[in-house]
Chain A
């Protein structure tokens, strides 16, 4: 149980385009989903927290207009990187948490490369 999927697993795009990443909880309802970014040889950096049906809460320094998050259902959250630039190249990971749970279950991650 507690499986989280992400799609796509990797994406290459041109600078200036937008990229959408999907995060799905496959066998439980995720009232809260989280989006992280990981740079090489570093720990996970929380970007934002999204609760189903409400606006996402962004961490300090994360541009909400750059990283659009939608959590429209209890099993799906999306992260859209708008007008991507090479500095947005990174490994993006989502996680999901059930209503009464305190454990986050992570997706497999999405590798984004912006040329």
Chain B
């Protein structure tokens, strides 16, 4: 049972435009969400997180939106740059702070110059 889903395996965007990556979850116990960026043969790099008490968190070009009623979150990258091309994973942490993260399958973003 996939508790965190990224239904789009890939996304292609023109440089300078907005990239929107989506993530859905099924477990109501999740109360902390994170986005990671990963290049091949490297470990994931933390980008941004959001607690369930918020519906938006912004850090530079990255904004994460959380819609708890829809169990949906999204990552917006504006403006997109060619260096943003990578695999993006969303992850969820259940309440109770065990620290365990449940990852989505990842979305490959390609930003074209």
Task: Give residues in A with beta carbon < 8 Å to B.
Answer: 2, 4, 6, 32, 34, 42-44, 46, 49, 91, 93-95, 97, 102-109, 111
| B41 contacts A109, C-beta separation under 8 Å | yes
| A44 contacts B34, C-beta separation under 8 Å | no
The yes or no answer to B42 lying at the interface (CB within 8 A) is yes
Question: With A44-B89, A46-B101 as given contacts, are A103 and B42 in contact (CB-CB < 8 Å)?
Answer: no
Contacts of B106 in A (CB 8 A): 43
Q: How many residues of B contact A (CB 8 A)?
A: 21
Contact partner of B41 among A34, A94, A103, A111, CB < 8 A? Answer: A111
| A107 contacts B104, C-beta separation under 8 Å | no
Contacts of A32 in B (CB 8 A): 99
| A108 contacts B103, C-beta separation under 8 Å | no
| B104 contacts A102, C-beta separation under 8 Å | no
Interface centre among A2, A4, A34, A106 (most CB of B within 10 A): A106
Tally A-B pairs: CB < 8 A. Answer: 52
**Complexed CA–CA distance, A106 and B89 (Å):** 13
| A109 contacts B99, C-beta separation under 8 Å | no
Question: With A43-B103, A43-B104, A43-B105 as given contacts, are A102 and B42 in contact (CB-CB < 8 Å)?
Answer: no
Stretch in B18-26, B43-51, B55-63, B69-77 touching the partner: B43-51
Contacts of B65 in A (CB 8 A): none
| B44 contacts A106, C-beta separation under 8 Å | yes
| A104 contacts B43, C-beta separation under 8 Å | no
Q: Report 26 cross-chain contacts, Cβ distance below 8 Å, ordered by A residue.
A: A2-B46, A4-B43, A6-B43, A34-B99, A43-B89, A43-B103, A44-B44, A44-B89, A44-B103, A46-B100, A46-B101, A49-B98, A91-B41, A93-B44, A95-B43, A102-B32, A102-B93, A103-B34, A104-B34, A104-B46, A104-B101, A105-B46, A106-B46, A108-B42, A109-B43, A111-B41
